[in-house]
Structures are given as C-alpha cells and as structure tokens.
Amino acid sequence: MRKKPELSLRARALQYLARREYSRTELRGKLLPHLKRSEGFGQPFDSSGDSSGDSPGDSFGFADLDALLDDLTARGWLSDVRAATQLLHAKRNRFGTQRIAHDLRQKGIPEELVSAALPALRESELEAARSVWQRKFGALPQDAKEKARQMRFLQSRGFGFEVIFQVLRISGAED
C-alpha cells in the first residue's frame, strides 16, 4: 500500500475550507494536531494553543499557524461572518435561539457576531418552534405527561419556555 504524501498546513487548511466554512478558532483547532514538531523537541503540543515545553523551537509552529490563518483571512478565504451565517441557515428551522447561540459560541464565533444574530433569531423563533412542533407531534397533548414530553422536546431543541407555551397555546386555539 502506498503511503499518502504529507500535506502542508496550507494545503490542509484549503482542503477544510473547500468543504465548508470554518471560524478561525475552529480551523486553528483542526490544524493544531498537524503542526510539525521541531527537530530535537519531542514534546507534544496541547490543544490550548501553548506548547508543553519552554523551548523556543516549540512555539515556532504556532506563529506559522497564526500567520497562515491571518493570510487566509486577508485573502477572504476564512471568515467568521460567513461561518456564522452558514451555521444560522443550517440550524434556523430546527433549533431555538438558545441552542444556536450556544453552537455559535462552541465554534469560536466572536461574541459580537453572536449578539448581532440574536435579534433576528428571536424574531423568527416562534415560527421555527411551531414548525418543529408540527413536524414532530402535530397534535395537542391529551394529558400532562404528553404535554411535559412535548415541552421537553422543544426545550432540548433550544426553545425558551415562553415560546414553548405560545406554541402549545396557539396550536390549541387553531384546532
């Protein structure tokens, strides 16, 4: 079996970005395991962004990685805004504001972008919750146990209690 040639950090980054949008933090995390260890320094890198040794050779790879990420950002190939927009579009019809905001933060999207997205998410949250509820249940709960089940489901999708109560109230008024 032929061994695959070792890809450069830039080539790996471009492969990742060709598949989907990544935030800077997320791409940095994907590339960290692929940093080359400096000759003579056998200590592994940890994922916090610091090397486990104090040797000057250990931090060289991190400076290269940050320079690569800066270059990709300057060329417009890496964008936190596009990564946030992609995630919002992918999750808007299935999850609530709380869950989407949490996912954005987990992907390393800066807090100012998360805060900017929240008003639009809250605006359409009732409609999204109603759609999710309709697809999953479609009928009002017949007893307290079923009501609790439906509420837990919507809550697990990141919808707030106020929105959940509105969905169940509106659905009951329309029947």
- pLDDT tens for 74-124 read 999 999 999 999 999 999 999 999 999 999 999 999 999 999 999 999 999
Residue 60 has pLDDT above 50, yes or no: no
Phi, psi of 51 (to 5 degrees): -85, 160
The tokens of 151 are what? 């509420």
CATH of range 1-37+57-78; options 1.10.287, 1.10.10, 2.60.40, 1.10.405: 1.10.10
In 3-state terms, what secondary structure has residue 51?
strand
Burial of residue 142, with CB atoms counted within 10 A of its CB: 0-12 exposed, 13-18 middle, 19 or more buried: exposed
Sequence spans of domains, the chain: 1-37+57-78, 80-123, 126-174
In 3-state terms, what secondary structure has residue 45?
strand
Which pLDDT value is given to residue 37?
52
Band of pLDDT at residue 61, cut at 50, 70 and 90: confident
Which residues share a beta bridge with 51? 45
Give pLDDT tens digits for 117-175. 999 999 999 999 999 999 999 899 999 999 999 999 999 999 999 999 999 987 655 54
- The CA-based dihedral angle spanning residues 119, 84, 113, 27, taken in that order and rounded to the nearest 10 degrees: 160
